[in-house]
């Protein structure tokens, strides 16, 4: 464990600042050599126009990103336009559906009223037909009773006349009837 602490202390003590010895502008000074190498590296980068290439690449990338942003903005606006269009159409369809429902309710109410009126007329016709049938049945019954009464009266008269009539009175009645018919015909 003490060995680890010793190694850590040695590493922290040996910093790059303490590595250079001697005059600064000497090729034996590592700091000067590193500075020269760095300046040469920068000069080579400038000679090869790396900053302008990097700038061009960055500009291209920025233009591509801007194009994508413009396209995304255009798509968003188009989507908002479509959404507004669909909302407007949905509202129109809803209004049309409401009008259809209201019209259907009105027609249903009118049909119900017409059905009530038809039902009243049908009931009135049926009542009238029933009353007519009752009147016809009454007339038929009265006629039947009268016919039966006539038949019974004729039969009773026949019996009474048959019991009271003799041959002479029968012949007189026949002659009288013939005379009446002859007078009415001429």
Write the pLDDT tens digit of every residue in 144-153: 888 888 888 7
Give the end-to-end CA distance of the chain in Å, rounded to a whole number. Answer: 173
Read off the tokens for 143.
């006629």
Alpha-carbon distance of 117 to 98, in angstroms, equals 28
| pLDDT at site 150 | 80
* Secondary structure (DSSP) of 59-114: HHHHHHHHHHHHHHHHHHHHHHHHHHHHHHHHHHHHHHHHHHHHHHHHHHHHHHHH
pLDDT digits (tens, 9 = 90+) for 26-56: 778 889 899 999 999 999 999 999 989 999 9
> Can you tell me which residue has the tokens 């590592």?
30
Mean pLDDT of 78-89: 96
The pLDDT > 90 percentage for the chain reads: 52
Q: What does the alpha-carbon distance between residue 73 and residue 98 come to, in Å, rounded to a whole number?
A: 37
Instruction: Write down the residue that tokens 């980068």 correspond to.
Output: 45
94 vs 21 pLDDT, higher one: 94
Confidence of residue 143 (pLDDT cuts 50, 70, 90): confident
Q: How far apart are CA 162 and CA 165, in angstroms?
A: 5
Higher pLDDT, 151 or 71: 71
Counting every residue written for the chain, the total comes to: 186
Q: What is the pLDDT of residues 86-142, one digit of tens each?
A: 999 999 999 999 999 999 999 999 999 999 999 999 999 999 999 999 989 889 888
Are 51 and 45 contacting, i.e. CB atoms less than 8 angstroms apart? yes
Task: Examine the pLDDT at 14 and tell me if it is beyond 50.
Answer: no
Place of tokens 């920025």: 62
pTM (2 decimals)? 0.39
13 pLDDT band, cuts 50/70/90, is very low
| C-alpha torsion sign, points 124, 125, 127, 131 | positive
Going by pLDDT thresholds of 50, 70 and 90, the confidence category of residue 1 is low
């Amino acid at each position: 464990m003490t060995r680890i602490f010793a190694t850590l202390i040695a590493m922290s003590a040996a910093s790059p600042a303490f590595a250079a010895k001697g005059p600064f502008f000497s090729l034996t000074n590592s700091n000067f050599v590193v500075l020269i190498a760095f300046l040469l590296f920068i000069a080579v980068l400038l000679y090869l126009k790396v900053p302008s290439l990097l700038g061009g690449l960055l500009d291209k990338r920025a233009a591509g990103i801007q194009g994508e942003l413009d396209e995304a903005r255009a798509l968003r606006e188009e989507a908002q336009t479509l959404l507004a269009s669909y909302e407007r159409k949905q509202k129109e369809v809803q209004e049309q559906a409401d009008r259809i429902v209201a019209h259907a309710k009105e027609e249903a109410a009118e049909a119900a009223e017409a059905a009530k009126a038809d039902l009243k007329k049908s009931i009135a016709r049926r009542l009238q037909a029933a009353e007519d049938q009752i009147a016809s049945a009454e007339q038929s019954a009265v006629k039947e009773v009268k016919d039966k009464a006539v038949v019974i009266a004729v039969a009773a008269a026949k019996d009474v006349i048959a019991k009271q009539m003799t041959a002479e009175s029968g012949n007189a009645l026949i002659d009288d009837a013939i005379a009446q018919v002859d007078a009415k015909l001429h």
